[in-house]
Structure 1
Amino acid sequence: MRNLENLKKQAKLYLRWHRDGYYPVATEIRMFLTRFQSLSDDQILEQTFRLSDAQELVARKAGFENWDALNKGIQTMPDLAVPDASYPFLAIAEPQLFVSDIKASCDFYRVVLGFETRFIYGEPPYYCQLARDAVRLNLRHVDGPVFDAGLRSRQHLLSATIVLDDVKALYLEYQERGALFHQTLKSEPWGARTFIIKDPDGNLIAFAG
């Protein structure tokens, strides 16, 4: 039962991370436990989080509905591969987009793409972070073009790719909000459905489901 002992240790580690206010664990909790999905990182870390919650998190990461189902799976498949929480966890990627006007760009991402502004630095502003669900985008002010606009558009040079569960619903939402599409919703040869948004500075943001 070596795997089961490792899983128990993982659950205790997640519990400790939560008690210590370790922000990356909030992202994992939100991703795998549906009752936490509407909460911010701070709210998740303020919530009561028990060992049973941590065990459920471990089970769902391993592909099981709950801890009991995981135990049964371990018994029938003793060599089951499970994630090892003793290794560093890469929680969030934060693409950095270069823009000419921080305030105008923040307004675009907030009003058109449904993001919220987490913070803005500088006077005048030169840096900000935007968030929607678990996605973070960092905007950095630049005085001149960083990329050749024509080349970027012709070769579809992406600034970020965002993966989600219901890409069509988001596409329809962005249609209603008046977003500028560099590429409308399409099915790719590898099976994904994608669309690409162009922001006011020409940054191409792909959404894939």
Structure 2
Amino acid sequence: MKETPKQATLCAVLNSIEAQLFVASVQNSCDFYTSKLGFAVAFTYGNPPFYGQVVRDSAKLNLRLICEPVFASDIRKREGLLSASITIATMSELKHLFLDYQAAGVSFHQILKREPWGARTFVIADPDDNLILFAGPAA
């Protein structure tokens, strides 16, 4: 009896993720991310823009205009609800980035610290109170 060849099972490979940030003004957010955090504008869409993307290296943040409050009151800050997490390769790069953002007058939700699980992290708050975590190795 002739055997039927087995079909190869395809396994999808996830390449990247893009965080969606809700903002009151795409243009103001683009200005903040480029002038304070060193991102570049990949694109904006609409006139005035209601959607856009900023990029820095492999990190991509999508900006979505929302004209009404999305979250109740100050729950994001009270509960530390992150909008995005960005990893940095080394501790020295993370520390340098933290110092650059500090010098640029960025608002921190959490300053650079060592976490109980060994990583080092800091969290910035953008003008729309989106909390962005930056994390790297402890050593």
Report the TM range for the smaller structure's normalisation.
0.7 to 0.9
Q: Which has the larger radius of gyration?
A: 1
In structure 2, the partner of 1:161 is 85
3-state secondary structure, aligned to 1:147:
coil
Identity %: 53
In structure 2, the partner of 1:66 is none
In structure 1, the partner of 2:71 is 147
Match of 1:92 among 16, 26, 34: 16
In structure 2, the partner of 1:198 is 125
Q: How does the TM-score come out when normalised to structure 1?
A: 0.58
Tell me, in whole angstroms, the C-alpha distance in 2 between the residues paired with 1:110 and 1:148.
Answer: 28
Q: How does the TM-score come out when normalised to structure 2?
A: 0.86
Structure 2 spans left out of the alignment, 5+ residues: 1-9
Retained in 2: the 8 A contact 1:149–1:202?
A: no
Match of 1:187 among 108, 114, 118: 114
Paired amino acid for 1:98: F
The answer to whether residue 127 in structure 2 is matched with residue 127 in structure 1 is no
Superposed CA RMSD: 1.0
- Any residues of structure 2 matched to 1:18-57 within 5 Å, and which? none
More strand by percentage: 2
3-state secondary structure, aligned to 2:129:
coil
Structure 1 spans left out of the alignment, 5+ residues: 1-85
In structure 2, the partner of 1:174 is 101
Paired amino acid for 1:133: D
The answer to whether residue 33 in structure 2 is matched with residue 109 in structure 1 is yes
Q: Which has the higher contact order (CA 8 A, sep 6+)?
A: 2
* Aligned length, in residue pairs: 124
Retained in 2: the 8 A contact 1:105–1:200?
A: yes
Question: Deviation at 1:162?
Answer: 0.4
Question: Deviation at 1:152?
Answer: 1.1
CA spacing shift, 1:203–1:149, aligned 2, 3 Å: farther
CA spacing shift, 1:141–1:134, aligned 2, 3 Å: same
Please list the CA deviations of residues 15-73 of structure 1 after superposition, one character each: whole Å capped at 9, or x if unmatched.
Answer: xxxxxxxxxxxxxxxxxxxxxxxxxxxxxxxxxxxxxxxxxxxxxxxxxxxxxxxxxxx
Tell me, in whole angstroms, the C-alpha distance in 1 between the residues paired with 2:73 and 2:63.
Answer: 18
